[in-house]
């Protein structure tokens, strides 16, 4: 299997239009079957006033067609506490991080 129950994932939904909002998801795989993952976690969106990502407070369960080509899926190490995941931006890059050891540079995907 590509994804296992309990794996942690970071999902970036591809934008099809310039003004389309950025949609990211961080969660845990509940089930995977034939290219579709059921995952529970949090949506991250962009605050256009601050130009920063923020986590929506409500927990969501999503069905994501990972074989569609419309999403990029990153596997998050098991030791990462998903409640600590934040986005950090500096002049050179945008990172998803737990504030400790793990971080994922998503600069090439985040603001285009």
pLDDT in tens, 20-36: 677 899 999 999 999 99
* Distance between CA atoms of residues 47 and 45, nearest Å: 7
Per-residue pLDDT reduced to its tens digit, 18-75: 766 778 999 999 999 999 999 999 999 877 766 778 899 999 999 999 988 889 999 9
Which of 74, 101, 86 has the alpha carbon at shortest distance from 42? 86
Whether the per-residue pLDDT at 83 is higher than 90: the answer is yes
Q: Structural domain boundaries of the chain?
A: 8-80
């Amino acid at each position: 299997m590509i994804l296992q129950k309990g794996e942690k994932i970071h999902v970036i939904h591809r934008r099809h239009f310039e003004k389309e909002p950025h949609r990211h998801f961080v969660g845990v795989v509940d089930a995977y079957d034939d290219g579709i993952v059921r995952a529970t976690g949090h949506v991250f969106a962009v605050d256009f006033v601050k130009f920063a990502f923020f986590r929506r407070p409500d927990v969501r369960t999503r069905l994501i067609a990972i074989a569609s080509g419309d999403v990029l899926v990153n596997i998050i190490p098991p030791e990462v506490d998903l409640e600590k995941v934040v986005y950090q931006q500096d002049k050179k890059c945008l990172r998803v991080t737990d504030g400790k050891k793990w971080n994922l540079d998503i600069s090439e995907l985040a603001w285009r």
